[in-house]
Copies of this chain bind each other. A is one copy, B any other.
Amino acid sequence: MSELKNDRFIRALLRQPVDVTPVWMMRQAGRYLPEYRATREKAGNFMQLCQTPELACEVTLQPLERFPLDAAILFSDILTVPDAMGLGLYFEEGEGPRFRKPVRTEADIRALGVPDPEGELRYVMDAVRLIRRELDGRVPLIGFSGSPWTLATYMVEGSSSKDFATIKAMLYDRPQLLHQLLDTTANAVSAYLNAQIAAGAQAVMIFDTWGGALGPREYREFSLAYMTRIISELSREQSGQRIPVIMFTKGGGQALEAMADSGADALGLDWTTDIGQARARVGDRVALQGNLDPAVLYAQPEQIRAEVARVLAAYGHGTGHVFNLGHGIHPQIDPAHAAAMITAVHELSRPYHSV
Contacts and interface: CB of A to CB of B under 8 A. Distances in A.
Interface of A: 163-166, 168-169, 172-173, 212-218, 251, 253-254, 271-274, 277, 293-296, 298-300, 303-304, 307, 310, 330, 332
A222 to B, nearest CB: 12
Contacts of A300: 172-173
Nearest to A270: B215
B273 A216 contact: yes
A164 B216 contact: no
A218 B307 CA distance: 11
A272 B173 contact: no
B165 A303 contact: no
Contact of A293 (B168, B294, B330): B168
Count of this chain's copies in the oligomeric assembly: 2
Complex A-B, nearest 6 residue pairs according to Cβ-Cβ distance, in ascending order: A172-B299, A168-B295, A169-B298, A172-B303, A216-B274, A215-B271
B165 A332 contact: yes
A272 to B, nearest CB: 6
Contact of A299 (B173, B215, B253): B173
Nearest to A274: B216
B164 A295 contact: yes
Contacts of A172: 296, 298-300, 303-304, 307
Nearest to A294: B163
Nearest to A273: B254
Contact of A298 (B168, B272, B273): B168
A294 B169 CA distance: 11
Q: Chain A's interface: helix, strand, loop or mixed, by majority?
A: helix
Contacts of A168: 293, 295-296, 298-299
A344 B271 CA distance: 37
21 contacts: A163-B295, A165-B295, A165-B332, A166-B298, A168-B295, A168-B298, A169-B295, A169-B298, A172-B296, A172-B307, A212-B272, A214-B272, A215-B271, A215-B293, A216-B272, A216-B273, A216-B274, A216-B277, A217-B310, A253-B253, A254-B273
Interface centre among A164, A293, A304 (most CB of B within 10 A): A293
Contacts of A215: 271-272, 274, 293
A214 B310 CA distance: 15
Contacts of A253: 253-254
A81 to B, nearest CB: 24
Nearest to A211: B272
A304 B277 CA distance: 36
A328 B26 CA distance: 32
A323 B304 CA distance: 42
A303 B254 CA distance: 25
A278 to B, nearest CB: 10
Nearest to A219: B272
Nearest to A307: B172
A105 to B, nearest CB: 17
Contacts of A307: 172
A215 to B, nearest CB: 5
Nearest to A292: B215
Contacts of A166: 298
Contacts of A163: 294-295, 330
A251 B274 contact: no
Given A169-B299, A216-B277, 20 more contacts: A163-B330, A165-B330, A169-B295, A172-B299, A172-B303, A173-B299, A173-B303, A214-B272, A215-B271, A215-B274, A216-B272, A216-B274, A217-B274, A217-B310, A218-B293, A251-B251, A253-B253, A253-B254, A254-B254, A254-B272
